[in-house]
């Protein structure tokens, strides 16, 4: 019974994917809209099971799946991300004829993969969850089969993702050969005391594992896939790619690497390698975003840059700032992509910057909300983005990473230009006659309102969430 309760959040997602896939085969074309509401129901079931498991010491499969506070809060974030993506997809999926049964079942399977990643402490099980996520993501990217860019996005994602998976599994093989275990705790113990004959195998394996996860979370130099995939994928799927893999990927990296930095003198090479990767990610992501005229590509490079900020939190070993930044990033990006869907240009797949000229006055509520999300991504107070960066940078300074923080602050200043360029286009350029808002989409506007509320709530009154996050982070190790 205890094992069943442990697996219940995951089983709700898997069962939802299977049930929706089965219903798709029997539902008539005009009634397939209810499949989205079925996905919402199964996500709510998963969220209820997560909340009921809070404070309980639950494990299954001899500890391979554990519902620790850290796992539960990230699982809850995964469910919230799923709810937001499904809500913003209800009308979009029908309008784009994505194949709603396929879309919602693949999305639930991808969320199940994320849940496995954040609840497992065994690297091989984490890899299995990552592959469930990856295979589902490849299919989601190419769901608009009539659009050559969507097919191209899926192909590029599949090919580059296959190489990343190969690196990751080879790294796991080296780690197992060096420490005879793939349990995260055992691996961390050996990493913290790696001075023996197996040190080369341990660090080579860890390097390949970081490369594999670096691809999934779009860390430079493993970020090349992101702009093309973000541009070609359906917009709600792009929103999922921007937030979902980061939630799980950085959770795994933090559990694997943060304890090691307490013994930093024995691990200088890997620490400075990641230090350089964080700096490169922040600089390249923000500089490349300056040249973008397609909003989805611009937000792709913004997402890459934000991966660098999250890696700073991992390097500082501060779980509180990492979880808070992930929560803020989820709300900011979901809201921004909601605004893009709302201010669409007819049914066109293009989301060019010039299409938004004058949209701030034509659609004032959407324009104002979009501006708030952009200000938050840039780090302006009193938004969640400001406090997220403040906590991450403060933790890094406390750990003596002043140089990395200076690079991060300068990179953030660069980002202000391209975020404000979108706002200037919406309010200070002549209206584009082709712009057309999606006026009748209540679920989409509900997501936008919830994200807007969350961005201000975390920016002005973050106390309650911070209390919970500090308790979770304090119990992690």
Look up residue 63 and give its DSSP letter. T
Quote the percentage of the chain above a pLDDT of 70: 92
Q: What is the pLDDT of residue 284?
A: 93
For residue range 163-205, what is the model confidence (pLDDT) as tens digits? 889 999 999 999 888 888 888 878 877 776 654 445 677 888 8
The average confidence (pLDDT) of the chain is: 86
Q: Which residue has the higher pLDDT, 412 or 263?
A: 412
The residue with tokens 């559990």 is 255
Q: Please state the φ and ψ torsions of residue 65, each to the nearest 5 degrees.
A: -120, 120
In terms of residue numbers, what domain contains 233? Answer: 2-474
Is 364's pLDDT higher than 50? yes
Pairing of strands 59-60, 65-66: antiparallel
Residues in the chain: 477
- How high is the pLDDT of residue 206? 86
Q: How far apart are the first and last CA of the chain?
A: 27
Neighbours of 26 (CB within 10 A): 8
| pLDDT score of 349 | 54
Q: What percent of the chain has pLDDT over 90?
A: 46
pLDDT in tens, 412-449: 999 999 999 999 988 888 775 555 666 678 888 999 99
Half-sphere exposure of 397 (CA within 13 A, CB side): 11
Those residues whose C-beta lies under 8 Å from the C-beta of residue 380, and which sit 6 or more positions away, are 386
Q: Give the pTM.
A: 0.92
For residue 185, say if its preceding peptide bond is cis, omega within 30 degrees of 0. Answer: no
**Residue 84: closest CA among 377, 345, 444:** 444
The 10 Å CB-count burial string (b at 16+, else e) for 205-244 is: bbbbbbbbbbbbbbbbebbebbbbbbbbbbbbbbbbbbbb
Is the per-residue pLDDT at 64 higher than 60?
A: yes
Q: How many domains does the chain have?
A: 1
92 — pLDDT class (breaks 50, 70, 90): confident
């Amino acid at each position: 019974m205890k094992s069943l309760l442990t697996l219940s959040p995951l089983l709700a997602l898997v069962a939802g994917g299977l049930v929706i896939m089965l219903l798709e085969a029997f539902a008539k074309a005009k009634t397939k809209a209810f499949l989205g509401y079925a996905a919402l129901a199964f996500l709510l079931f998963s969220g209820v099971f997560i909340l009921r498991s809070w404070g309980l010491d639950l494990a299954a499969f001899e500890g391979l799946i554990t519902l620790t506070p850290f796992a539960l809060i990230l699982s809850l974030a995964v469910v919230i991300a799923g709810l937001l993506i499904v809500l913003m997809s209800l009308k979009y999926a029908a309008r784009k004829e994505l194949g709603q049964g396929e879309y919602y079942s693949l999305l639930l399977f991808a969320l199940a993969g994320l849940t496995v990643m954040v609840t497992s402490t065994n690297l091989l099980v984490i890899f299995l969850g990552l592959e469930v996520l990856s295979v589902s993501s490849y299919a989601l990217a190419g769901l608009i089969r009539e659009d050559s860019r969507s097919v191209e996005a899926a192909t590029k994602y599949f090919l580059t993702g296959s190489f990343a998976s190969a690196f990751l599994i080879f790294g796991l093989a080296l780690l197992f050969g060096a420490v005879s275990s793939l349990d995260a705790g055992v691996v961390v113990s050996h990493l913290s005391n790696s001075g023996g004959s197996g040190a080369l195998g341990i660090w080579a394996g860890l390097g390949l594992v970081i490369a594999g996860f670096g691809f999934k979370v779009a860390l430079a130099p493993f970020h090349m896939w992101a702009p093309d995939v973000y541009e070609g994928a359906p917009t709600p799927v792009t929103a999922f790619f921007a937030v979902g893999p980061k939630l799980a990927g950085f959770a795994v990296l933090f559990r694997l690497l943060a304890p090691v930095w307490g013994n930093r003198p024995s691990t200088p090479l890997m620490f400075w390698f990641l230090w350089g990767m964080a700096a490169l990610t922040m600089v390249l992501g923000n500089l490349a975003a300056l040249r973008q005229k397609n909003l989805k590509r611009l937000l792709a490079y913004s997402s890459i840059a934000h991966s660098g900020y999250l890696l700073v939190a991992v390097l500082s070993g501060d779980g509180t700032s990492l979880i808070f930044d992930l929560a803020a990033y989820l709300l900011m990006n979901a809201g921004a992509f909601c605004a893009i869907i709302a201010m669409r240009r007819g049914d066109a797949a293009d989301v060019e910057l010039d299409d938004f000229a004058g949209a701030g006055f034509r659609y004032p509520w959407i324009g104002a909300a979009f501006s708030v999300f952009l200000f938050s991504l840039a780090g302006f107070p009193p938004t969640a983005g400001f406090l997220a960066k403040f906590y991450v940078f403060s933790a890094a300074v406390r750990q003596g990473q002043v140089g990395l923080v200076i690079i991060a602050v300068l990179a953030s200043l660069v980002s202000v230009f391209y975020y404000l360029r979108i706002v200037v286009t919406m309010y200070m350029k002549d209206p584009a006659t082709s712009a057309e808002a999606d006026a009748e989409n209540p679920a989409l506007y509900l997501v936008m309102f919830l994200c807007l509320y969350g961005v201000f709530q975390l920016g002005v009154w973050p106390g309650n969430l911070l209390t919970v996050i500090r308790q979770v982070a304090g119990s992690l190790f």
